[in-house]
């Protein structure tokens, strides 16, 4: 019987969209907690729900002798996590929930079945918390920093925040052997021709984008030393034989000096493995992009968000449209594919901002781009401001939905943004055809031009219509 059973609420085979994508990665957060606690003498097991089912996890909670259950929750897994907590409580488990979302919804998770909400990094907090819960008493919970719980009167109590771990190199690597990590690599290899594995070189992001959550790491940036990351990568290559890597840092190229040290480690140890990562355009000089190419970066994701500088400034992005366009051009020059994240519907967006975004993507020519409609995440300045203005409306009960489903009053409809997506897609397709100058594609180009004219007219008509009915 373990001291702790860790799990999460992501079930790949129960999500049709994820089944189409088939790019799962191991839950590094709980694997870091597992390795830390095992190094301190606790017995910890992980029920990896990615390739499992809700029923299999619920069955385990029913049939095993109840101890302590720790559940990782994020914005998208809330409904499943709430069901896991309820099932665990029915069968006598003590329950802990942590991750990016619970700290913003403390009372909701406590009333949904969590005995304790962990806020911020979990390793040291869990180390201190487990002996108290294991002893059966809760009278000393108020002395544990970084948690919330209900007192005897049913009131939520939040303890002072816990200082963050400063020396990440002193932490053990995530306990990948606690789960079937090889299955993740093989799933990638089966569906995409290259087996991939993830790792992190740093924690946190120090920037101030108003829609971005900083619940776990705050606005910090703490890096591991390159030689210790290289040690981990050597072991990963030997153990799992990945064909590519995903550096899961929020901003991989934030520290240029670190990147040069990393190049020395990779070169001296012959650790050149193709990889992709995320960065910001303002942290991408030509020297940085050249270094990434030399290291094997085949795709660089950039948070562009909008082609309107007015909207970027409103988001407090701290980057310019020109910086994004320059970064994508440099990536093309050095043979690196670019992926671009875009966001429709941020507060104050008008038709000219949408047109500016379309023109921006046409000019940038990313290899792939992903769009979303802005949504307010609780705990962010965007959420606070929107809530204070009375613009947030909950469509479904909290336990059955997510912040992505909150309705923003006065914003354009989902149909409007679908038209914008189609227009953007066809504009970019036309640019790619024009660049190739292939006579065989001229008929397709003509058809696309016609569709673009119709879609642009539909978009402007929808904008005028919704303005009149608002």
Q: Are strands 275-279 and 297-305 parallel, antiparallel or unpaired?
A: parallel
The CB-side HSE value for 74 (13 A sphere, CA atoms) comes to: 11
Element (H, E) at 423: helix 414-436
Short-list 5, 17, 89, 99, CA closest to 49: 5
Nearest to 410 by CA among 352, 353, 348: 348
Tell me whether residue 187 is in a domain.
no
Four-CA torsion 213, 50, 70, 3, nearest 10 degrees: -150
Residues sharing a CB contact under 8 Å with residue 275, sequence separation 6 or more, in sequence order: 244, 245, 246, 247, 295, 296, 297, 298
Per-residue confidence (pLDDT) for residue 280, from 0 to 100? 97
How many domains, the chain?
2
Give a yes or no: residue 452 inside a domain.
Answer: yes
Domain end residue (candidates: 127, 158, 189)? 158
Asked whether residue 395 is assigned to any structural domain, the reply reads no
pLDDT in the model for residue 468: 53
The residues that bridge with 342 in the sheet, in sequence order, are 305, 371
Distance, in Å, from the CA atom of 433 to the CA atom of 439, rounded to the nearest integer, reads: 10
The residue range of the domain holding 451 is 412-470
Q: Is residue 303 part of a domain?
A: no
Element (H, E) at 369: strand 368-373
Residue 75 covered by a domain: yes
Contact indicator for 221, 168 with CB cutoff of 8 Å? no
Residue pair 69/30 in contact (Cβ under 8 Å)? The answer is: no
Whole-number pLDDT of residue 351: 94
139 domain-assigned = yes
Mean pLDDT per 10-residue segment, the chain (470 residues): 96 95 98 98 98 98 97 97 98 97 97 97 97 83 96 95 96 98 98 98 95 90 97 98 98 97 97 97 98 98 97 97 98 98 96 97 96 96 96 95 94 94 94 80 87 91 71
Q: What is the pLDDT of residue 442?
A: 82
Beta carbons of 171 and 123 less than 8 angstroms apart: yes
What pLDDT shows up at residue 470?
45
Rounded Cα gap, residues 381 and 284, in angstroms: 27
Read off the tokens for 293.
């190419």
89 inside domain: yes
Residue 43 belongs to domain with CATH number:
3.40.50.280
Task: Please tell me the pTM assigned to this model.
Answer: 0.95
Q: Choose the final residue of a domain: 158, 186, 220.
A: 158
Q: Which of 158, 180, 209 is the last residue of a domain?
A: 158
- Cα 151 from Cα 158, distance rounded (Å): 10
Q: Identify whether 316 is part of a domain.
A: no
Give the total residue count for the chain.
470
């Amino acid at each position: 019987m373990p001291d702790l059973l860790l799990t999460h609420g992501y079930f790949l085979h129960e999500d049709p969209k994820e089944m189409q994508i088939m790019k799962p990665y191991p839950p590094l957060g709980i694997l870091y907690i597992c390795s830390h606690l095992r190094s301190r003498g606790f017995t910890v097991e992980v029920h990896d729900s990615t390739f499992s089912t809700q029923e299999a996890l619920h069955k385990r909670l029913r049939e095993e002798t109840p101890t302590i259950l720790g559940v990782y929750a994020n914005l998208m897994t809330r409904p499943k996590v709430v069901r896991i907590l309820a099932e665990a409580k029915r069968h006598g488990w003590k329950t802990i929930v942590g991750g990016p979302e619970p700290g913003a919804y403390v009372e909701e998770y406590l009333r949904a079945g969590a005995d304790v909400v962990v806020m911020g990094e979990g390793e040291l907090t869990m180390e201190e918390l487990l002996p108290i819960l294991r002893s059966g008493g809760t009278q000393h919970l108020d002395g544990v920093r970084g948690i919330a719980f209900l007192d005897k009167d049913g009131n939520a109590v939040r303890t002072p925040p816990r200082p963050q771990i400063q020396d990440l190199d002193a932490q053990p690597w995530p306990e990948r052997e606690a789960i079937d990590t090889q299955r993740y690599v093989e799933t990638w290899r089966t569906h995409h021709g290259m087996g991939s594995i993830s790792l992190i070189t740093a924690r946190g992001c120090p920037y101030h984008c108003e829609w971005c959550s900083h619940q776990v790491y705050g606005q910090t940036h703490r890096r591991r030393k390159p030689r210790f990351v290289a040690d981990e990568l050597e072991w990963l290559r030997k153990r799992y034989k990945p064909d590519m890597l995903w550096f899961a840092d929020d901003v991989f190229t934030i520290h240029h000096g670190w990147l040069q040290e990393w190049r020395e480690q990779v070169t001296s140890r012959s650790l050149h493995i193709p990889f992709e990562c995320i960065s910001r355009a303002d942290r991408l000089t030509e020297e940085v992009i050249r270094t990434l190419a030399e290291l094997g970066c085949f795709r660089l994701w950039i948070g562009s968000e909008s082609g309107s500088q007015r909207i970027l400034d409103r988001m407090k992005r701290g980057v310019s449209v020109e910086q994004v366009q320059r970064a994508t051009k440099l990536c093309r020059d050095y043979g690196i594919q670019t992926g671009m994240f875009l966001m429709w519907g941020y507060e104050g967006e008008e038709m000219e901002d949408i047109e500016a975004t379309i023109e921006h993507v046409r000019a940038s020519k990313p290899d792939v781009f992903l769009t979303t409609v802005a949504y307010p995440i609780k705990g962010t300045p965007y959420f606070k401001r929107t809530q204070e203005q009375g613009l947030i409306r909950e469509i479904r009960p909290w336990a059955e939905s997510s912040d992505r489903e909150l309705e923003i009053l006065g914003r354009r409809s989902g149909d409007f943004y679908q038209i914008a997506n189609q227009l953007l897609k066809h504009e970019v397709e036309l640019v790619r055809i024009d660049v190739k100058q292939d006579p065989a594609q001229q008929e397709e180009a003509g058809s696309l031009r016609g569709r673009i004219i119709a879609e642009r007219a539909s978009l402007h008509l929808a904008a005028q219509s919704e303005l009149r009915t608002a």
